[in-house]
Amino acid sequence: MVLGGRLFPAFPAGGLRRVTEHDKDPAQALADAQAALTITPMSVRARLAEAHAFEALHQTGAARASFAVALAQAEQIGKDWYPAQIAEAQQGLSASETNVAKR
């Protein structure tokens, strides 16, 4: 999208969708997150949406990798900007370690 001569990223119609108990289509949530990441690869929120979608699809390794990238990006961009997202990524990493340990 171009506004005032500047290019701004356009996200998928309806925006990013985080997988919750109310969202019964984690494959579409993953597609939305990955589409957003092609436009804004440093988006911490899009990376977390991707991680949660992988989690819902039972792709633990991919979810763990996405949580780790989200955490690294949030810390690189600025801890003050993303305190909730850092906590969310840390929680996701911890949960994925627990899931791997149970196997």
- The tens digit of pLDDT for each residue in 81-95 reads 888 999 999 999 998
The amino acid sitting at 21 is E
CATH class of this structure's domain 19-102? mainly alpha
Asked if residue 55 lies in contact with residue 63, where contact means CB atoms within 8 angstroms, the answer is: yes
The crossing angle, in degrees rounded to 10, of helices 44-56 and 83-102 is 20
How confident is the model over 1-32, as pLDDT tens digits?
Answer: 434 444 444 555 455 555 554 367 899 889 99
CA distance 10 to 21: 26
Query: Reduced to 3 states, what is the DSSP secondary structure of residue 46?
Result: helix
- Write down the pTM of the prediction: 0.75
The pLDDT of residue 18 is: 52
